[in-house]
Amino acid sequence: MTTAQSTPVKTATPSTTATPAARVQNAVIKYGFIFVTVALFLYFALSEGSFRESATLLDTLRYVSVAAILGLGVTLTLAVGGMDMSVGAVAGLGVSVAAQTMVVYNQVGTVAIIAVLAAGAVVGLLNALLIVVLKIPDMLATLGTLFIVQGLKLVLVDGQSITPGMTLDDGSTAPGKFTEGFLKIDRGTVLGIPISVLVFGGLTIAAWVFLARTRWGRVLYAIGANPEASRLAGIRVGAYRALAYVLSGVLASVGGLILASRIGQGDVSAGTSQLLEAVAVALVGTSVLGKGRPNVWGTALGAVLIGIITTGLTIKGLPYYTQDVVEGAVLILALVFSFTLSKRRTA
Amino acid sequence: MSPTETPPAEVPSPGEPAVALTDVSMAFAGKTVLESVSLDIAPGSVVALLGANGAGKSTLIKILSGVHTDHGGQVRVAGEPAALQSPLAARQLGIQTVHQRIGEGIVPGLTVAENLAFEELAQRRGNPFLNGAKLLARAREIQAGLELGWSDALLKKDVTELGISDRQLLILARALATRPRLLILDEPTSALSAAEAERLFALVEKMRDDGIAVLYVSHRLGEIDALADRLVVLRDGRLTEDQAKPFDWDAALRAMLAQAHEATTARPVREGGPSHEVALSLRGVRLFEGRTPLDLDIRTGEVTGVVGLLGAGKTELARGLFGAEPFTSGTVELDGQPYAPRRPADAIRAGIHLVPEDRHADALVPGWSLAQNISLPFLKSFSRLGLVNTAKEDALGRDTIEALGVVTRDEHSTVEELSGGNQQKVVVGRWLAETPRVLILDEPFRGVDIGARRDIGRRARALAAEGAAVLVLSADVDEVLEVADRVVVLAAGEIHLEAYGEDAERDRVIQTISASV
């Protein structure tokens, strides 16, 4: 192109002239994780009859729904280039708030749901304040809220589990109980599918539409990829980052609702194990489909994969305490996919 | 070999240059950045290296300091062919480099003495345990040799307690402690005040008197005038000027900033004269502390070109008008109304768009397609109920490809697949999706081939003809003359010339810049 306005010229791009080896590698990066998931599923299904039962499969999904929903929140914060470490604690707080509302204050399930979601939003706002306004690095800020929220959860229930009929400080008996309707969140089914699984599916679709199809989701990704360019494109970067943390808090409290419904009492230790699973699921998600960036389907599939592994190994008779080792290994394998291999591909 | 035992500099073979480059060339991914550069640097001399951004200065420095090893041509050190295979090899041959960014040279958390005698710490052999007394003794020796006048109390302080100029001196002292043959100083005064710089100049003169060769890279012409014995100019990877003192600044600046004469024939037809309405009116705007505030009118229907060296305040002006870094004093009116953007979003709403200086850091979203990069600032007009209409977005991408002549496979190509010039067209095109009232282009032609430069310039002129105000800022005189109706010369935050058409003659612009130094 020398002088006049040059017309667009069709040119071949390097990626179309890839060698067979590179093509295989691309395929491995893109579909490797889905392949592993399907292969493991088939292995468990063929070798263990009980794994094939639909009840087991639905239970697996029910089991992973909490970590998956928390993982969706983490995915949103990963998209803006941040990280929310407080999701597990927020879910735990949700359990306490639900128990307190229904058992101690004798309120109906709807009130409990509103209270739990509000608590999640408040913690999200606190995270946003620390990160966006006070400029504390995301990981450290949410680690701080993790501790505060975990402590707050104990303060709320005086450090003990709340059970229906328990004796309160003033000597009276707790007036309320977990309502039937509330317990149905995890235990009830619609057309044979557990409500918690439906919530997981619904939120996955909603989060996917939001992140991948709306301009707000596009903007979140833009901020994660190049915050200064986003600001200079006229984006209110702070407001969008705050939005990601508030949504993450609300999603985490939805996880808390399911957890509360599952446990059926105000268990003080609830939610602690969920944090690492949620973060793991979201990080595994970045490698699924070889996108190398946080994405909703990746997170959902990552959760399903971890569910299959956990259930499969349990049926195989592996003790529960080996699960963490296996989950950790899966996470590291996923990170090799997302970082090591993808980097090499783009290099 | 320990760095402290480097060959002594005091016995250069008589007549032999400390370092000699012969036909040194370098290319990255097929793009030539240095072309057959030959340069001798004599012991006991200060050679100033001048060049605009992207001229190849950093590449040359990196070759000499052993970072880039796959270059063509030959490097001789003290007459012997030398293989600068690594930064360590370069240091062992007596070539020390002090980089622009001071932060890269010091280790926070260590004391001044430990930083000063860092080479001792970094040795592979020897006693693995720290010997505080020995380190301190070495540090004392270094500071005494350079007459820094640093007390033991200061040497024992944490290095972060030092001010920026003392840190700069520390790094310099550390480099000098190894008795280098050649010392490369890359913009050593960019963070220093005038008084602090004086201290540094005294040190540089002491080095020269000690027989050390100094390669001095700076944009500050005053310093070069005072310090250097010789100046060379790099332009587009070639040495275009080599002068001994006293310097002919007009010739040097012409070699640095202006293109070969034949390239300047394509000057726009000027419709000049202040007959157009004022879009932006700046009154008492101060670009730097302690500088005279400036008044400037930017008119519709014409291209205003602002030309000035690095540090003249061009980027400050652009970012201030765009609300990216609001002005600290003065007022701006847009079409007669007060205009004080607090963030870019405010400016965009008012119809003021900016193509920033650094397209990678400040404009492009990596990994995104061309269409997605283009639609980003005005995403709202490509969405309904929040859902992005990708068909409409792709159509915009295709329109931009068409309008600016972007060379690409299609609108779905990622921006990384494009050449620099085509990436720049994408960044410019993004701001034309909605017609701006004022379009600001900060260094729009940097790293852009001549074809793309013409296309972008033509588009900017067409926009002005349609009634927008266009502001182009560049360090390159010819780039500005090629596109602008009116030329404004900026130096150290002050306006030195405002001229239309024939009055903005090339030599006059260059002379104004050179006189403002």
Which residues in chain A have their CB less than 8 angstroms from residue B409's CB? 10-13
Q: How far apart are CA A315 and CA A48, in angstroms?
A: 7
Taking the C-alpha atoms of residue B483 and residue A226, their distance in angstroms, rounded to an integer, is 31
**pLDDT score for A341:** 66
Of A5, A215, A216, Cβ closest to residue B405 = A5
For B84, list phi and psi in degrees, rounded to 5.
-90, 75
Rg (CA), chain A: 22
Residue of A nearest to B454 (CA): A3
> Do B406 and B422 contact (CB within 8 A), yes or no?
yes
Instruction: Give the integer Cα–Cα distance in Å for A247 and A123.
Output: 10
Residue pLDDT, tens place only, A160-202:
778 877 777 777 777 778 888 888 888 888 888 899 999 999 9
Q: List the single range of A202-211, B406-415, B427-436 with lowest mean pLDDT.
A: B406-415
Which of the given ranges, A31-35, A174-178, B442-446, has the highest pLDDT on average? B442-446
- Mutation target for A interface from B353, B360, B370, B379: give the one with most A CBs within 10 A: B379
Using an 8 Å CB-CB cutoff, list chain A residues near B361: 226, 228-229
pLDDT at A41: 86
pLDDT confidence of residue B167: 82
Q: What is the CA radius of gyration of chain B?
A: 26
Lookup result for tokens 């193509």:
B355
Q: Could you tell me which chain A residue has the CA closest to the CA of B343?
A: A234
pLDDT at A2: 37
pLDDT value of position A347:
34
What CATH number belongs to B276-515?
3.40.50.300
pLDDT tier for residue A1 given thresholds of 50, 70 and 90: very low
Token pair listed for B409:
């496979």
Q: Which residue has the higher pLDDT, A334 or B329?
A: B329
Starting at the edge strand found earlier in the chain, the sheet holding B95-98 runs B95-98, B182-186, B213-217, B46-50, B230-235, B238-244
- Exposed/middle/buried for residue B103 (C-beta within 10 Å: 0-12, 13-18, 19+): exposed
Cβ of B362 and A232 within 8 Å?
Answer: yes
Residue A160 domain flag: yes
Does the pLDDT of residue A47 top 80, yes or no? yes
Taking an 8 Å cut-off on Cβ atoms, the answer to whether B324 and A293 are in contact is no
Report the mean per-residue pLDDT for chain B: 84
Between B368 and B107, the higher pLDDT residue: B368
Site from A228, A232, A295 to mutate, B interface, most B CB atoms within 10 angstroms: A232
Q: For residue B104, is pLDDT > 70? A: no
Residues of chain A found within 8 Å of residue B364, distances taken between Cβ atoms = 226, 229
- Indicate yes or no: CB of B344 within 8 angstroms of CB of A229: no
Flag whether A93 is in a domain.
yes
Closest partner residue to A213 (CB to CB) among B343, B388, B413 is: B388
More confidently predicted of A126 and B408? A126
Contact A231 B344 (CB under 8 A): yes
Residue A218: domain span: 59-346
Name residues whose C-beta falls within 8 Å of residue A327's C-beta, 6 or more positions apart in sequence. A277, A280, A306, A309, A310
Q: Which residues of A touch B371 (CB under 8 A)?
A: none
Q: Report pTM.
A: 0.78
Best-predicted range by mean pLDDT among A160-169, B64-73, B217-226?
Answer: B64-73
- Give domain status of residue A48, yes or no: no
Please work out, in degrees rounded to the nearest 5, the angle formed at the alpha carbon of residue A267 by the alpha carbons of A265 and A273: 130
CB–CB contact B361 A222 (8 Å): no
Around B317, how many Cα atoms within 13 Å sit in the side-chain half-sphere?
Answer: 37
Average pLDDT over residues B231-237: 88
Residue with more model confidence, B122 or B355? B355
Distance between CA B515 and CA B517 in Å, rounded?
Answer: 6
**Contact criterion met (CB below 8 Å) for A157 and A97:** no
B3-7+18-257: which CATH architecture? Answer: 3-Layer(aba) Sandwich (3.40)
Do residue B405 and residue A236 have CB atoms under 8 angstroms apart? no
**Taking CB atoms and an 8 Å limit, are B344 and A233 in contact across chains?**
yes
Please answer yes or no on whether B361 and A234 come within 8 Å at the CB atom: no
Q: Reply yes or no on whether the pLDDT at A306 is more than 60.
A: yes
Cβ B285 vs Cβ B294: under 8 Å: yes
Instruction: Annotate B189-250 with DSSP letters as a single string.
Output: TTT--HHHHHHHHHHHHHHHHTT-EEEEE-S-HHHHHHH-SEEEEEETTEEEEEEESSP-HH
Residues in chain B with CB shorter than 8 Å from the CB of A5 are: 405, 455, 458
* Min Cα–Cα distance to chain A from B466, Å: 19
CA A336 to chain B, closest CA, distance in angstroms equals 20
CB contact under 8 A, B405 and A235: no
Mean pLDDT, rounded, for A99-115: 89
Contacts of B451 in chain A (CB under 8 A): 1-3, 6
**pLDDT given for residue B500 in this prediction:** 84
Q: Which of A10, A214, A225 sits opposite B386 (nearest CB)?
A: A214
Instruction: Give me chain A's average pLDDT, please.
Output: 84
Rounded distance between C-alpha atoms, residue B197 and residue B344, angstroms? 36
Q: What is the share, in percent, of chain A residues with pLDDT greater than 90?
A: 42
With H, G, I as helix, E, B as strand and everything else as coil, classify residue B106: coil
Q: How confident is the model over A44-57, as a mean pLDDT?
A: 82
Q: How confident is the model at residue B198 (pLDDT cuts 50, 70, 90)?
A: confident
Q: Give, as one character, the DSSP assignment of residue B500.
A: E
Do A14 and B417 count as a contact with CB atoms less than 8 A apart? yes
Give the start-to-end residue ranges of the domains of chain B.
3-7+18-257, 276-515
Closest B-chain CA to A209: B387
Residue B53, pLDDT score: 66
B409, A231: Cβ pair inside 8 Å? no
Q: What pLDDT does residue B8 have? A: 46
Which chain A residue lies closest to B364 (C-alpha atoms)? A229
**Shared fold status for B3-7+18-257 and B276-515:** yes
In a domain, A116, yes or no: yes
- On whether the CB atoms of residues A285 and A299 are closer than 8 A, the answer is yes
pLDDT of residue B264: 44
Best of B349, B365, B453 to substitute, by most chain A Cβ atoms within 10 angstroms, is B365
From A8, A209, A235, residue closest to B407, measured CB to CB: A8
Tokens for A250? Answer: 């609300």
- A20-47 vs A296-315: helix axis angle to the nearest 10? 40
Distances (CA, A) of B69 to A33, B56, B61, B95: 40, 15, 12, 15
Q: Which of A6, A11, A233 sits opposite B409 (nearest CB)?
A: A11
Residue-wise pLDDT for A219-260, tens only, equals 999 999 999 999 999 999 999 999 999 999 999 999 999 999
Residues found in chain A: 347
Q: Mean pLDDT over residues B226-239, rounded? A: 89
Residue A155 or residue A271, greater confidence: A155
- For helices B164-177 and B194-209, angle between their N-to-C axes, nearest 10 degrees: 10
Contact criterion met (CB < 8 Å) for A214 and B387: yes
* DSSP one-letter code for A185: H
Question: How much is the pLDDT for B1?
Answer: 40
Give pLDDT tens digits for B305-329. Answer: 999 887 788 999 999 999 999 998 9
The lowest-confidence range among A291-305, B249-263, B484-498 is B249-263
Lowest mean pLDDT among A72-76, A86-90, A105-109, A218-222: A105-109
B322 φ, ψ to 5°? Answer: -90, -5
- Alpha-helical segments (H) within chain A: 20-47, 49-52, 54-79, 87-99, 109-128, 138-156, 180-187, 195-208, 215-225, 227-232, 237-263, 274-287, 296-315, 323-335, 342-346
At B142 the pLDDT is 83
Rounded to whole angstroms, the Cα distance separating A301 from A35 reads: 12
Q: Give the closest-approach CA distance of A243 to chain B in angstroms.
A: 15
Q: How many whole angstroms separate alpha carbon A338 and alpha carbon B277?
A: 55
Q: Which residue, chain included where needed, has tokens 């599952």? A: A262
**Is residue B488 scored above 80 in pLDDT?**
yes
| pLDDT beyond 70 at A83 | yes
pLDDT, tens only, B343-376: 999 999 999 999 998 888 899 999 899 999 999 9
Picking from A205, A215, A228 by the largest number of B CB atoms within 10 A of its own CB, the best residue to mutate is: A215
Q: From the list B363, B402, B417, which residue is nearest A232 (CB)?
A: B363
| Partner-chain contact A13 B417, CB within 8 Å | yes
Using the beta-carbon criterion (under 8 Å), do B365 and A225 form an inter-chain contact?
A: yes
Nearest CB among B365, B402, B407 relative to A9 is that of B407
Rounded to whole angstroms, how far apart are CA atoms B351 and B373? 19
Contacts of B453 in chain A (CB under 8 A): none
Which one of B352, B358, B362, B396 would you mutate to disrupt binding with A, by most A Cβ within 10 Å of its Cβ?
B362
Which run of H or of E encompasses B134?
A: helix B132-145
Q: How confident is the model at residue B259 (pLDDT cuts 50, 70, 90)?
A: low
Q: How many inter-chain contacts (A to B, CB under 8 Å) are there? A: 102
Whether residues A219 and B324 touch (CB distance < 8 A) is answered with no
What pLDDT, on a 0 to 100 scale, did the predictor assign at position A20?
75
- Pick the residue of A2, A13, A17, A218 with the most B CBs within 10 A to test the interface with B by mutation: A218
Average pLDDT over residues B207-227: 86
Question: Is the Cβ–Cβ distance between B469 and B299 less than 8 Å?
Answer: yes
pLDDT at B267: 56
Length of chain B: 517
- Which of A292-296, B6-10, B81-85, B429-433 has the least mean pLDDT? B6-10
Q: For residue A331, give both structure tokens.
A: 């996470």
Identity of the residue in B363, B380, B449 whose CB atom sits nearest the CB atom of A229: B363
Which residue of chain A has the CA closest to B353?
A: A233
pLDDT above 70 coverage of chain A, percent: 91
Top pLDDT among B381 and B168 is at B381
- Position B221 confidence tier, pLDDT thresholds 50, 70, 90: confident
Tokens for A98? Answer: 């639900």
- Count of domains in chain A? 1
Q: How many CB atoms lie within 10 A of CB A223?
A: 25
pLDDT of residue A12: 37
Closest to A213 (Cβ–Cβ): which among B387, B417, B449?
A: B387
Task: Quote the CA–CA distance of A98 and A56 in Å, as a whole number.
Answer: 28
Cβ-defined contacts of A195-199 (< 8 Å, 24+): A196/A62, A196/A65, A196/A66, A196/A258, A196/A261, A196/A262, A197/A58, A197/A61, A197/A62, A197/A65, A199/A65, A199/A69, A199/A254, A199/A258
Contact B324 A232 (CB under 8 A): yes
**Do residues B98 and B175 touch, judged by C-beta distance below 8 A?**
yes
- Residue B388, SS3? strand
CB A176 within 8 A of CB A119: no
Residue A40 to residue B484: CA distance in whole angstroms: 66
Residue of B nearest to A211 (CA): B387
Which tops the pLDDT comparison, B281 or B200? B281
Cβ atoms of B76 and B82 closer than 8 Å: yes
- For B470, the token pair is 């266009």
Residue A252 CA to residue A246 CA, distance in Å, equals 10
pLDDT of residue B419: 79
Q: Is residue A9 situated within a structural domain?
A: no
CB–CB of A293 and B367 under 8 A?
yes
Low-confidence winner among A234-243, A259-268, B257-266, B496-505 (lowest mean pLDDT):
B257-266
Interchain contact, A229 vs B362, CB within 8 Å = yes
